[in-house]
Chains A and B, each alone.
Chain A
Amino acid sequence: MNDSELLARLADVLDRFDPVPAEVEMAATGAGRLAGRVASTLALVADGLPGARGGGRLLGFAGDGRRVELEIESDGSVVELTGVASGVAELRVRWPGGERVVDVDSWGRFTVAGLPAGPLSMVVRAPDAVGPWFVG
């Protein structure tokens, strides 16, 4: 048996003893729903581990003058996000099966509880941009 034959057998063995679970494959298929959509322009700019002071993981996203910072609290099945957003007209949080509009107060602060554990993503709408006046 040469190296590639051995590796091919190894792949068969992995597929037999540690196969991709059906629900994982289904979730991957479901992600195709987003295929071809315009991807976000917010970049992950900060990723802080759960703090020594007992807080949760801290994440920061930014792009085009918009910024969202949040702290994640999770008990393994339900997630709560607390944070602050700036340069944002509307904030939403989405997960593979849905999304929710997040109430942001006049200081930009928000708390959203009861989110499903697993992948989440913040969606922001920036304030409308207006062009300069001109005479027609």
Chain B
Amino acid sequence: MSELRMVAAPELVRRAADADPAAWQELVRRYSSVVWSVAREYRLTTCDAADVSQATWLTLAEHLGRLRAPDRLAGWLATTARREALRILAVRRREAPLEWAEGSSIVDGPDVAVVSGDAEGVLWRCLHGMPDRCRALLRLIAHAPDLTYAQAARCLGIRAGSVGPMRSRCLAVLRQRLAGEGVLR
């Protein structure tokens, strides 16, 4: 199993399409956090995010033989998850207009106030306090560092030319906040 960790994504895609369960499992291991992160960034509940994730993987399973660029699988997964998340988000907004009008969050993720006070806990809190777009960008590129700017832009719904400057700006803000907490010198 572990030698699969060295195999490139296009080869894993080819093997998975040939009904190799170990190759599929390796794809899931490598990319499930990207898909999950995208779903979570749209402020979906755990339950809706789980559905988005599952729909994304089901779609991939039936598209394995038709991916135009298997080397850019992370981008394909993130874009597919985003499309599904936006659909669910639109439906939920229609279902619960009052809740959304008041700006309340329906995220039932970890409670920011009670996470641990170690360096990682501080980093998590700092990330949580960032503007939505920054947090979404940082989360995406943290889990999928190989995304091209064009792919990241598609996933985030921004212009490709904005990704570079936004990445620098958001990282600078994060560093500033970490320094303020005494975590980063």
Residues of A within 8 A of B (CB): 1, 3-4, 6-21, 23-25, 27-29, 31-40, 47, 49-50, 57, 96, 117-119, 121
Indicate which residue in B50, B58, B184 contacts A34 across the interface (CB closer than 8 Å). Answer: B58
CB distance from A123 to the nearest CB of B (A): 11
Contact A24 B54 (CB under 8 A): yes
Which B7-51 residues have a C-beta within 8 angstroms of A?
A: 16-19, 21, 24-25, 28, 32-33, 35-37, 40, 46, 49-51
Given the contacts A32-B28, A35-B64, A119 and B171 also touching, CB distance less than 8 Å: no
Cα distance A18–B143 when bound, in Å? 12
Contact B58 A96 (CB under 8 A): yes
In the bound complex, residues from chain B placing their C-beta under 8 Å from that of A15 are 33
B74 interface residue per 8 A CB criterion: no
In the bound complex, residues from chain B placing their C-beta under 8 Å from that of A50 are 91, 94-95
CB distance from A35 to the nearest CB of B (A): 5
B90 interface residue per 8 A CB criterion: yes
A37 — nearest CB in chain B belongs to which residue?
A: B62
Q: Which 10 A-B pairs have the closest CB atoms?
A: A32-B24, A31-B57, A39-B62, A34-B61, A10-B142, A28-B57, A11-B142, A119-B55, A20-B36, A27-B54
Contact A17 B124 (CB under 8 A): yes
Indicate which residue in B50, B62, B90, B110 contacts A27 across the interface (CB closer than 8 Å). Answer: B50
Interface of chain B: mostly helix, strand, loop or mixed = helix
Contact A21 B16 (CB under 8 A): no
Indicate which residue in A11, A23, A28, A117 contacts B143 across the interface (CB closer than 8 Å). Answer: A11
Contact B184 A1 (CB under 8 A): yes
A39 — nearest CB in chain B belongs to which residue?
A: B62
CB distance from B167 to the nearest CB of A (A): 8
Given the contacts A29-B25, A118-B54, A20 and B64 also touching, CB distance less than 8 Å: no
Contact B61 A13 (CB under 8 A): no
Indicate which residue in A13, A14, A18, A49 contacts B91 across the interface (CB closer than 8 Å). Answer: A49
Cα distance A47–B24 when bound, in Å? 30
In the bound complex, residues from chain A placing their C-beta under 8 Å from that of B124 are 13-14, 16-17
Contact B18 A28 (CB under 8 A): no
Cα distance A23–B47 when bound, in Å? 11
Contact A32 B63 (CB under 8 A): no
Cα distance A32–B64 when bound, in Å? 10
B55 — nearest CB in chain A belongs to which residue?
A: A119
A9 — nearest CB in chain B belongs to which residue?
A: B123
Cα distance A13–B123 when bound, in Å? 7
CB distance from B179 to the nearest CB of A (A): 11
Which B115-132 residues have a C-beta within 8 angstroms of A?
A: 115, 120-121, 123-124, 127
Instruction: Given A25-B32, A28-B54, output 20 extra A-B contacts at Cβ < 8 Å.
Output: A4-B145, A8-B145, A10-B138, A11-B143, A14-B124, A15-B33, A16-B124, A17-B121, A20-B32, A24-B36, A31-B61, A32-B25, A33-B61, A35-B24, A39-B63, A49-B94, A50-B91, A50-B94, A57-B91, A118-B51
